[in-house]
Amino acid sequence: MHRRLSTRVLRALLASVLFSAAARSSQAQERDILSTLSTLSSVGRAAVQPASPFVIQPYLQLGDAPKAGKREQMALIWHTSDTDAVWSVETRPAGETGAKWSAQGGRPLFQQVAVAGVDAHRVWTAPLTDLKPGALTAYRVLKGDVPVFESTLLPRKASGQKQRVVVFGDCSVDSSAQRKIAYQTYLAKPDYVFITGDIVYNRGRISEYRSKYFPIYNADIASPASGAPLIRSTLFLAAPGNHDILHPDFDKAPDSLAYFLYWKQPMNGPTLAVGGPNVAPMTGPEVSQRAFLAAAGSAYPRMANYSFDYGDVHWTVLDADPYVNWNEPALRDWLRQDLEKAKGAKWRFVGFHQPGFNSSVEHFDEQQMRVVANLFEEGGVDLVFNGHVHNYQRTYPMRFATASGQTGKGRVNGVWTLDKDFDGVTKTKPSGVLYLVTGAGGADLYNPEQTTKPETWQPFTKKFVADVHSMTQVDIDGRRLTVKQISDDGKELDAFTVTK
């Protein structure tokens, strides 16, 4: 009998259920709607998709897990409306479609986000544990007993395993370039992705994450026109940039600072206090500030800096915004000790937003991070990844001696020593630190005219590509590291190798 129902009749049936459910409990409504949609689907004629149970579909985060373990852990996050439901997650080895699903023991917990300007919602975190390092794993999310989402995840790789990371920044503006870079990232099949800040424009707001970040990096279809289903199965990490956290104005933007609500990264940075030094002062109505603080919990402001290990790499992630004084002994001690403790890692990377060494006319005067160059050198840092400047730049391997009396504000004078023997092809052992600006992930490019004018570059700049959007692909195989800069249509713009 169902087979004779027209699409029109089926739509009417759905509408009537939706209408009659309006005065009932939300759980009963959802049961009825899902049951009706299931009936419609079984008829096989109606092109009606089940309503999504998510405000934001699941995405992977590292969680507060700075160190690798014999068995790995991750956090799976999703957002829902502010209603009760019982959620769970199950996993099984990927590719074994007949294998039994195993329940993940950790119960998903939620943090309510109830700030002005957006509907109250819940950010659910499911701790995933006992994962095999580097082993592709299938997972599914269940609401009640019903599987509502399925994908795969790649747990953090162990030391000794080859790894690929893609790095870009200055990205979520809802541009065609952003979608193309997301698609190129998808094609590169990275083990994880690092964003060098200015994750979401223009103010890192919840509403902006919903329109410019999640739809593109968690698109259902992979294409240069849509973005790609990345964050559901690939771990993303990020440094906060000025557009993410520099101007928390709760008058103009009560849904500010979404970085601290939606990212779950290690909580091992230097201790910072709300309203204290090295933290951007919040402005606007106190009630709005309190609503944010309640939702952010301990992540704010601590998660502005952190470090983590991934396979053979130790990453240190810093807040480079101008309110941070990296001349301050407590911050310098933390950075020095973090790098000292990572002496056993084969590679040491640092990621932050504002570059100390930049040849663009744009942002040229923001040199505050030069004051930690000597700590990078002492700590044996191999590569530094920055954004802020919307193009690609590579320095020679270099050392920098800060002149005395530099305040760390604006221009920072000093003397650099460049390793011009390193060519990244036949001479691959650098003397000094290599600094990359990779901020061409989607926002409008800066100073494209300088690309063909090397006379406008600073002496420390070896490569400068500002006339096309791009991303950085880094492959690590033991003591060999290969970097490729790839354009938004897949062309190789730069390549070099480092060995040790």
242 touches Fe ion (CB under 5 A): yes
288 sits near Fe ion (criterion: CB under 5 A)? no
E-strand stretches of 325-372? 347-351
Residue 241 engages Fe ion in binding (rule: CB under 5 A) = yes
Residue 442 engages Fe ion in binding (rule: CB under 5 A):
no
Binding residue (CB under 5 A) for Fe ion from 156, 212, 388, 390: 388
**Which residue, 241 or 408, has its beta carbon nearer to Fe ion?**
241
Binding mask 398-437 for Fe ion (x = CB under 5 A): ----------------------------------------
Q: Which is nearer to Fe ion, 64 or 198 (CB)?
A: 198
The CA-based angle 298-62-319, given to 5 degrees, is 60
Quick check: 64 binds Fe ion (CB under 5 A)? no
- Give CA torsion, residues 95, 96, 100, 105, to 10 deg: -40
Encoded amino acid at 283, one letter:
T
- Cβ 242 to Fe ion, closest distance in Å? 4
Task: Provide the minimum distance between the beta carbon of 369 and Fe ion in the complex, in angstroms, as a whole number.
Answer: 13
Whose tokens are 């933290």? That residue is: 279
Whichever of 128 and 389 has its CB closer to Fe ion, that residue is 389
Using CB atoms, what's the residue nearest to Fe ion?
388
Q: Could you tell me which residues come within 8 angstroms of residue 444 by beta carbon, excluding any fewer than 6 positions away?
A: 173, 175, 390
180 binds Fe ion per the rule CB under 5 A: no
Nearer to Fe ion, 198 or 382 (CB): 198
The alpha carbon dihedral of 340, 480, 489, 263 has a sign of: negative
Work out whether 240 is an interface residue with Fe ion (CB under 5 A): no
**198 belongs to the binding site for Fe ion (CB under 5 A):** yes
Segment contacting Fe ion by CB under 5 A, of 27-35, 63-71, 238-246, 332-340: 238-246
Question: Using only C-alpha atoms, what is the Rg of the chain?
Answer: 24
Q: How far apart are CA 347 and CA 444, in angstroms?
A: 32
Q: Which is nearer to Fe ion, 80 or 447 (CB)?
A: 447
Instruction: Give yes or no for a contact between 295 and 328, defined as CB atoms under 8 angstroms apart.
Output: no
The strand pair at 347-351 and 313-317 is best described as parallel
CB of 389 to Fe ion, least distance (A): 8
Q: Which residues contact 397 (CB under 8 A, 6 or more apart)?
A: 418, 419, 422, 430, 431, 432, 433, 434
Under the binding rule (CB under 5 A), the answer on residue 156 touching Fe ion is no
Min separation Cβ 245 and Fe ion, Å: 11
Phi, psi dihedrals of residue 336, rounded to the nearest 5°: -60, -45
Residues that bind Fe ion (CB under 5 A): 198, 241-242, 388
